[in-house]
Amino acid sequence: MDNKKKLKDSFNFIVVDDSPYKIEMIKDKIKIFGIEPTIITDEDYAHRTFKKVSETYEENKIPVLFLDEKLGLDILEDGNLIGQYIVENFGEKGGIIFPCSTIFQMQVRRLESSIEDRKEWYIEQVVGLGNREFISNVAEICREYQGYVEKRESNSDIKNG
């Protein structure tokens, strides 16, 4: 199976942002994989993101969140709180979070300090959205995470078998 098909079959890409410019930038970058992401914008970010992540697991896929920090004017519509909420509710199922704030390192620190048990989750800490290596990094992280999930499931089968 080629890498594009594997990414498409294994992951659901979800962009949670209020900036049309950043949304288009992310869409353009992942378009090379032949993937059309789900876009969550405008309002009710937390509920809609939770619902989409839940649907992703029902499809036996892994959620890949491109998560902005500041979403609109409502203080409850904070990307870090949404990330924390998602991890608390779906922690053991796992996923990938790419912080997409314009102040990337600050968002990474805030996510790390607010999310306690993130063992099954990968949060990108090195390459932000504006970095030239961002898209190759997304592909590499997804491949590595897929390998991690397959190994985890294989070990689970051995324990239960």
User: pLDDT tens, 42-67?
Assistant: 888 999 999 999 999 999 999 999 99
Question: What does each C-alpha distance from 114 to 29, 88, 103, 106 come to in angstroms?
Answer: 28, 10, 17, 12
What is the tally of structural domains in the chain?
1
Both tokens of residue 93?
């199922």
- Burial environment of residue 9 by CB neighbours within 10 A (0 to 12, 13 to 18, 19 or more): exposed
Domain boundaries, position 120: 3-160
Q: How confident is the model at residue 157 (pLDDT cuts 50, 70, 90)?
A: low
**pLDDT tens by residue, 80-101:** 888 889 999 998 899 999 998 8
Is the pLDDT reported for residue 128 higher than 80?
A: no
Q: What is the structure's pLDDT at 47?
A: 93
Q: What pLDDT, in 10s, does the model give residues 132-151?
A: 667 678 888 888 999 888 88
* Higher-pLDDT residue of 28, 57: 57
Q: What is the pLDDT averaged over residues 65-73?
A: 87
Q: 138 vs 114, which has greater pLDDT? A: 138
| pLDDT value, residue 86 | 92
CATH number, domain with residue 59: 3.40.50.2300
Residue 76: pLDDT band (50, 70, 90) is low
* Ordered DSSP codes for 129-153: TTSTTHHHHHHHHHHHHHHHHHHHH
Mean pLDDT of the chain: 85
